[in-house]
């Protein structure tokens, strides 16, 4: 089914088209979300939310971008929203710990291994993904889309709804910040 036919069928709430959409894009969505949130269960939950959002919002899809670009945009937005909520909960938990006298850590990141990383690179990738968490959102998204998902700068600018020059700047700053963070470790 062509992308235009798939979009039309989705807009008509065709269940077979939705199944085809999920089968075609589930790995892309999961990997993107997983690279940002770095927790498999949360990535699965967010991925489901992405497809629910696509199903609900497809009627308003204007087709001024490719379907995959639109889905990437939804996936990164949902993942970043989850990250913001997690940080808020973590800060609130730390405040509660201060007042209760409990000094135990609050939900720190566990060791994370991305399933797409080869075995001999696991240690280096764990350090990279840990450092990735400290980047500002735009740098993190640009880095994930380009270096992990393999999108080019033009595609990334479309997903991020910005210019190619801005994406280049995000990538430049991300590389500098990652080098600083990794050298500290």
- Let me know whether 156 and 170 are in one domain: yes
| Secondary structure class of 82 (helix, strand, coil) | helix
pLDDT tens for 53-81 read: 999 999 999 888 899 999 999 999 999 99
End-to-end CA distance of the chain: 49
Q: Residues 144, 102: one domain? A: no
**pTM score:** 0.75
Q: Are residues 23 and 37 in the same domain?
A: yes
**Rounded CA separation 135/109 (Å):** 15
Are residues 128 and 180 part of one domain?
A: yes
Which CATH number does the domain housing residue 150 bear? 1.10.10.10
Last residue of a domain, one of 79, 106, 133: 106
- My answer on whether 29 and 95 are in the same domain is yes
**How does DSSP classify residue 58?**
G
- In which domain, by residue range, is 122 found? 109-185
Domain co-membership, 95 together with 164: no
* pLDDT at res. 115: 53
Closest CA to 26 of 77, 68, 79: 68
| Domains of the chain: total | 2
Q: How high is the pLDDT of residue 62?
A: 86
Together in a domain, 66 and 116: no
pLDDT at 114: 56
Mean pLDDT by 10 residues, the chain (185 residues): 93 96 97 94 96 95 91 96 81 54 48 50 72 92 93 96 97 94 80
Q: Are residues 134 and 123 in the same domain?
A: yes
For residues 138 and 50, membership in a common domain is answered with no
- Angle (CA) 124-129-131 rounded to 5° is 95
- Identify whether residues 78 and 115 lie together within a single domain: no
Structural domain ending residue among the three candidates 106, 141, 173: 106
The span from the CA of 50 to the CA of 44, in Å, is: 10
Question: In terms of domains, do 97 and 113 share one?
Answer: no
Which run of H or E residues covers position 24?
Answer: helix 15-37
Whole-angstrom Cα distance, residue 90 to residue 23?
34
């Amino acid at each position: 089914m062509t992308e235009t036919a798939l979009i039309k069928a989705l807009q008509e709430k065709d269940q077979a088209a939705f199944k085809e959409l999920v089968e075609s894009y589930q790995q892309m969505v999961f990997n993107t979300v997983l690279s940002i949130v770095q927790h498999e269960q949360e990535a699965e939950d967010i991925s489901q939310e992405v497809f629910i959002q696509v199903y609900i919002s497809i009627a308003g899809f204007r087709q001024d971008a490719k379907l995959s670009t639109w889905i990437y945009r939804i996936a990164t937005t949902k993942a970043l929203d989850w990250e913001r909520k997690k940080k808020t909960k973590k800060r609130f938990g730390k405040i509660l710990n201060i007042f209760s006298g409990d000094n135990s850590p609050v939900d720190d990141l566990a060791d994370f291994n991305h399933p797409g990383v080869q075995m001999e690179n696991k240690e280096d990738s764990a350090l990279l993904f840990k450092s990735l968490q400290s980047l500002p959102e735009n740098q993190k998204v640009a880095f994930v889309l380009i270096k992990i998902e393999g999108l080019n700068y033009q595609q990334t600018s479309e997903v991020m709804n910005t210019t190619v020059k801005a994406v280049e700047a995000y990538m430049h700053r991300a590389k500098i910040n990652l080098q600083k963070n990794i050298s500290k470790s």
